[in-house]
Amino acid sequence: MARPLLQATAIVAALAMVPVATGAMAQVDTDTYRELDQFMDVYNLIRANYVDKVDNKVLVKGAIEGMLAALDPHSSFADGVDFENLRIQTEGNYGGLGLSVTQEDGAVKVIAPQEDTPAFRAGIKSGDYITRLNGKLLYGLTLDEAISEMRGKPGTRLSITIVRRGRDKPIELSLVREIIVQKPVKWEVKGDIGIININTFSDRTGDYTRDAIIQIRKQLGHDPLGYIVDLRDNGGGLLNEAISVSDTFLDHGEIVSQRGREKEDIQRYYARPGDATNGLPVVVLVNSGTASASEIVAGALQDQHRGLILGERSFGKGSVQSLLKLGPRTEVRLTTARYFTPSGRSVQEGGIDPDVLVPQISDADYKTRPVFREDDLRRHLINEAKVDNKVLEEDTKLDPRFSATPEELKKRKIDDFQLYYALQTIARLGGAQQVAAINRVGTPNPQPIDPETPPVPKPN
């Protein structure tokens, strides 16, 4: 794909001067010139008549942002703070709270907190609204300005006000900023079961995943009984790393395909021979925060019958963004393709449906906290299969078999029911030996389960 080299301040003039575009762009016609003339008319009117003198860069940046915002929620212009945020997502560390946020109707909305950060430990959750920082109202600030307020010198304290649906009063928190280190992969062993927690798909996530498998074997001194791959609240990242992680668990077959504007514009990616886990049982945990690159992994393992997908329907972001460089610190993030799972499914809007639906009933707010997904975003791409929104929301109806309260689960020392269920499922897949492994880690009253018949936890 052609990479534009124009500086941001020269884009308008360049468009007006170039009679024919190259690559995938169509020939500029009379209607296009007319629209550009109208744009320039408005631009000149603002410069001549606006009550305050306006910086040309401000006008051009606003025009670029407006063009991209008219397309879909994932196309954007990045310079300054935005450019730094994009760099941090894939490679860097920063001083702050560990939150991924977006803006909705002028308010700052939490997408997800990063594990092992001040925000995560304080109990901030997906769907929360941040209304004040140090008593200062955030409404009306740009997202860049709000992010800048949250970041700062490690060790400094920040008061934060959260509004959560289902709660009558705002939640007041006091957090201390830390160096937020990007840890794409963490691992642990429970009994003889390896747990691989993938938090983001940044540089070398595939390498870190394979290293986690090696370290799990090293700690045990032998192969584990199975693996749990935790993709919950993983908002995605780099496509090539999603392919690398999928390839870790597969030894053949398609992983994903991406399809552009034209019918012949299709790229397919395949697994190489060799499964790093030697075919051992794999359970993949997903929830509404599992998005984009995470859904590629979950969809590949599901369609290739390599892993059992457990949890709740994923976010539903089935589009691919390309980073097109305009300058040393300026990029356009543009949606250039849709991706499809090996069976030809698009997860756009619909997401990945789990093989076993398991709500996180250990979360005290699971009944009242709203679920935030791709189909809730304005101007999101429409799934070509015309997914029915009524069908999408059916997973909010709680299965009556999950009747235990968070308090009852707490008494049983189960603070993560979905993980508990995944451990039980690995046990069921392997038989009595796996049940004994779960017993060794101290989970009260473990029982082998049938994945089609979810257990109902009972208080002691």
Contact 266, 259 (CB under 8 A): yes
- Tell me whether strands 129-133 and 107-113 are parallel, antiparallel or unpaired: antiparallel
SS3 79: strand
Sign of the C-alpha dihedral computed for residues 204, 417, 233 and 114 taken in this order: negative
> Is 303 tagged catalytic?
yes
Contact 139, 107 (CB under 8 A): yes
**348 vs 367: CA distance, rounded Å:** 25
Give me the catalytic one of 61, 125, 190, 317. 317
**194 vs 213: CA distance, rounded Å:** 8
Give me the catalytic one of 230, 247, 303, 375. 303
Give me the catalytic one of 76, 202, 246, 292. 292
AA letter at 112: A
DSSP secondary-structure letter at 395? G
**16 vs 48: CA distance, rounded Å:** 20
> Is 319 tagged catalytic?
no
Kindly report the length of the chain: 460
> Is 294 tagged catalytic?
no
Q: Measured at the alpha carbon of residue 93, what is the angle toward residues 68 and 171, in degrees to the nearest 5?
A: 80
Which of 329, 341, 456, 460 is CA-nearest to residue 403? 456
Please state at what angle helix 432-440 crosses helix 417-430, rounded to 10 degrees. Answer: 140
DSSP secondary-structure letter at 199? -
3-state helix, strand, coil in the chain (%, to 5): 30, 25, 45
Distance of CA 5 to the CA centre of its chain: 29
Phi first, then psi: what are they for 27, rounded to 5°?
-65, 135
- Which residues have C-beta within 8 Å of that of residue 406, sequence separation ≥ 6? 361, 362, 363, 364, 366
The catalytic site residues sit at 292, 303, 317
